[in-house]
Amino acid sequence: MRSFVLQEIWIGLRRNLTMTIALIVVVAISLSLLGTGLLFVKQVDSTRTYWQSKVQISVYLCTADSANTSCHGAYTPAQAQAIQNTVNGLSQYVQASYFQTQGQAYTQFKQFFANDPAYVSTVRPNDIPASFEVKLKNPSADYNIVSSAVSGMAGVDLVVNEMTILQKFYNLLAGLRNAVVIVALILVLAAVLLVSNTIRLSAFNRRRETGIMRLVGASNLYIQMPFLLEGVIAGLLGWVIAAVLLFGVKSLLLNSLQQYFSYNVGLTTTDLVEVLILTMCVGVLLCGITSFITLRRYLRI
């Protein structure tokens, strides 16, 4: 039985070579796009999780060159202490806070833009302001309270909600992810139609063999097995191509996002393996179930 099934699979794939190749290509593209969308989901989630555990508010202090008209020269130690006292008095809203000097801020700036030394060379240490970095207990609910308390104080140049800035980046990734997933779903539908047509054509080409098998009492499962495996094999071959493409997406695209961060918020090998396993299951089930449904209708003729 095993040799017969393998022989029938080979015959089916060879007779419908053009449609089989088209099916493999469509499955590969749809699975790679679906996998890319899933990788973007993981990238957005890991980035969001990391940065949500960090600072939510930066209170930048005045420098000698501040453009803010409320600044009258650089902040004084007394002004910095007053700001610190105000932040400490908001302990019901503030989880943690620390003071970052100009030197520390400049060092961090150089780390962030280490890949662009030309840009770093145009910025002087005194151009980067000192700041109070504040982490809130509930960023969405407490930001306005804390911001209102420190805004306008002597020595304060600007109060920045860093989560608002990062949200734009999240929205960009989420929009790209959604577009990729929508295109992938359209291609999945195309793959379903191709699987159905390929199996139907294969069954039609072998209708004489199938009729003889039915007359001699072969079970439906025995008759269906070569066709089902044809669809599954096409799905697996498409997945192999998709796996190579997804590896390239992670290595060439998503890993390149690391240049914008000084911390490791990239995807791990485990993330890639999880997506590959999921796309393999989708590819096999997609082709297998579609083949099964198509054959059920054929066997009723």
DSSP secondary structure, 127-178, as one string: GSPPEEEEEESSHHHHHHHHHHHHTT-TTEEEEEEHHHHHHHHHHHHHHHHH
The dihedrals phi and psi of 227, each to the nearest 5 degrees, come to -70, -40
Residues 6+ apart with CB under 8 A from 152: 70
Look at residue 82 in the predicted model and tell me its pLDDT: 93
Query: For 232-261, how does the pLDDT look when each residue is reduced to its tens digit (9 = 90+)?
Result: 888 888 899 989 988 888 777 666 666 555
Look at residue 262 in the predicted model and tell me its pLDDT: 47
Q: How far is CA 90 from the centre of its chain?
A: 37
Please report where in the chains the tokens 């060379």 appear, as a residue.
121
Q: What is the CA radius of gyration of the chain?
A: 30
- CATH fold group of domain 54-163: Alpha-Beta Plaits (3.30.70)
CATH 3.30.70.3040 positions along the chain are: 54-163
Look at residue 301 in the predicted model and tell me its pLDDT: 45
Look at residue 85 in the predicted model and tell me its pLDDT: 93
pLDDT along the chain (301 residues), means of 10: 54 64 82 83 74 76 86 89 92 90 88 78 85 85 87 89 72 77 80 77 66 63 70 85 87 65 64 89 84 68 45
Q: Are 149 and 86 in contact (CB under 8 A)?
A: yes
Q: Are 223 and 209 in contact (CB under 8 A)?
A: no
